Amino acid sequence: MKFLDLAKVYIRSGSGGGGCISFRREKYIEYGGPDGGDGGTGGTVWAEAVDGLNTLIDFRYQQHFFAKNGQPGMGKQRTGKDGDDIVLRVPVGTEILDEDQETVLADMTEVGQRVLLAKGGNGGWGNLHFKSSTNQAPRRANPGQPGVERTLWLRLKLIADVGLLGLPNAGKSTFLAATSNARPKIADYPFTTLHPNLGVVGVDEVEFVVADIPGLIGGASEGRGLGDLFLGHVERCAVLLHLVDGTSQTIAEDYRTIIHELEAYGGNLAAKPRVTVLNKIDALDAEERAAARSELEEASGGPVMEMSGVARQGTTEVLRALRAQIDDDRLRRTAQDEEPEPWQP
């Protein structure tokens, strides 16, 4: 399924049906009087967060969502049929923005959450409503209320517990493939990852979700490379995993490049808890590894872990360090096989 995290939609709620002007005329009914029914209510447009979706690709092929109008009222005090509602089913983590792409109207963070986007118009009153002691044959009825027409933007921010950061070819996709069932594209050239990938990793009988986003480069906040287009997908993460290529000749500069882009992006992303890891240690000897780690510790001003995603060295320790930064209410317990009870005659 193709990944899409931004979509523009056009919605319109249904207009209410007009009221009816009618009089009851039957041969053996002495006093007939007005009997015009009310118009039906127009359909409403809703947005609902559903499980099982992680892309907005459906909204590329259908962008217009128009609810049905209410039917007009009829004689014999018959009310018109209400218009059918329309529901936009979106992935969990979708933000609904106004046409200016800045005003957030709703943030769909839970499965089953529903938000009203455009309310249907009320139906007009029939002439029966206007009957009074001084006006027993009213010849007026109200028109239905018009529907609401809006242009909205849907922006998906994946909900993950851990976000992977690093320069292109820092080993983020390799780490995700080594620790989960996700199969992101892996190759020996930069920008292999072109869209975010999600993987569920497990350690010490708990599971959490890791998001891998395309690598950042210097000037990403100004649009270089793929830009900071995908940083929104790690805004909701509890902790960031910053991978630094241990084989690079500019380790400290690589680290500072990512931190600078986080600060330029804003949104308190740079203040999130981070686990800094020196990756690809299988390609270094003991002396090179010690020098690289010392340089990275000096640049980061904090502890640095070592890991090799290809050789699966240190990955468990890294997962445990990430798990310690995630609140228990975000973790999911892995299913354990229950031992069968002993048979008793």
Going by pLDDT thresholds of 50, 70 and 90, the confidence category of residue 80 is: very high
Same domain, 173 and 221: yes
How much is the pLDDT for 178?
A: 86
* Residues 124-180: tens digit of each pLDDT: 999 999 998 888 889 999 999 999 999 999 998 877 888 888 888 888 888 888 888
73 in a known ligand binding site: no
- pLDDT-derived band at 211 (thresholds 50, 70, 90) equals confident
193 labelled ligand-binding: yes
Residue 191 has pLDDT above 70, yes or no: no
Query: Which residue among 116, 141, 156 closes a domain?
Result: 156
Residues 176 and 138 in one domain: no
Q: Which of 101, 133, 156 is the last residue of a domain?
A: 156
Whether residue 338 lies inside any domain: the answer is: no
Mean pLDDT of 191-203: 74
In this predicted structure, which of 53-62, 262-271, 283-292 has the lowest mean pLDDT?
262-271
Q: Are residues 172 and 282 in the same domain?
A: yes
Q: Is 309 annotated as a binding residue?
A: yes
> Does 306 fall in a domain?
yes
Judged by average pLDDT, the poorest of 67-81, 166-180, 312-326 is 166-180
194 labeled binding residue? yes
pLDDT at 234: 80
Structural domain count of the chain: 2
Judge whether 242 is annotated as a binding position: no
Question: Per-residue pLDDT tens for 233-249?
Answer: 788 888 999 999 888 88
* Same domain? 190 vs 237: yes
259 is in an annotated binding site: no
Task: Indicate the pTM of the whole model.
Answer: 0.75
Q: Is residue 116 part of a domain?
A: yes
pLDDT in tens, 19-34: 999 998 887 777 788 9
What distance lies between CA 38 and its chain's CA centroid? 40
281 annotated to bind ligand: yes
Q: 213: annotated binding-site residue?
A: yes
Does residue 27 have a known ligand-binding role?
no
- CATH assignment of the domain containing 194: 3.40.50.300
The reply to whether 97 sits in an annotated binding site is no
Judge whether residue 341 has pLDDT over 80. no
pLDDT for the residue 2: 65
Per the domain annotation, does 167 fall within a domain?
Answer: yes
Q: Is 161 annotated as a binding residue?
A: no
**Which residue would you say has higher pLDDT here, 195 or 17?**
17
pLDDT band at 55 (very low <50, low <70, confident <90, very high): confident
**Residue 208 domain-assigned (yes or no):** yes
Same domain, residue pair 221 and 150: no
What is the reported pLDDT for 225? Answer: 53
Say whether both 85 and 128 belong to one domain.
yes
pLDDT at residue 70, rounded to an integer: 96
Using pLDDT thresholds of 50, 70 and 90, give the confidence band for residue 265: confident
> For the domain that residue 63 is a member of, what is the CATH number?
2.70.210.12
Q: Which residue has the higher pLDDT, 332 or 289?
A: 289
Is 93 flagged in the annotation as binding? no
Q: Which pLDDT belongs to residue 262?
A: 85
195 annotated to a ligand binding site: yes
Claim to verify: residue 47 and residue 116 sit in the same structural domain: yes
Q: pLDDT over 70 for what percent of the chain? A: 87
Residue 340 lies in a domain: no
282 is in an annotated binding site: yes
Looking at the fold, whether 168 and 300 belong to one and the same domain comes out as yes
Question: Does 90 lie in the same domain as 200?
Answer: no
67 annotated binding-site participant: no
The boundaries of the domain holding residue 134 are 1-156
Are 72 and 172 contained in the same domain?
no
| Whether the predicted pLDDT of 339 surpasses 60 | no
Over residues 83-132, the pLDDT tens digits come to 999 999 999 889 999 999 889 999 998 999 999 999 999 999 999 999 98
**71 and 219 part of one domain:** no
From 60-64, 131-135, 213-217, 297-301, the region with the lowest mean pLDDT: 213-217
Per-residue model confidence (pLDDT) at position 164: 87
- State residue 229's pLDDT score: 65
According to the annotation, is 170 in a ligand binding site?
yes
Q: Tell whether residue 221 is among the known ligand binding residues.
A: no
Domain-located, residue 22: yes
Q: Domain check: are 105 and 174 in the same one?
A: no
Out of 156, 173, 194, pick the residue that ends a domain: 156
Q: Considering the domain boundaries, does residue 345 fall inside one?
A: no
The confidence band for 311, taking pLDDT boundaries of 50, 70 and 90, is: confident
Is 72 marked as binding a ligand? no
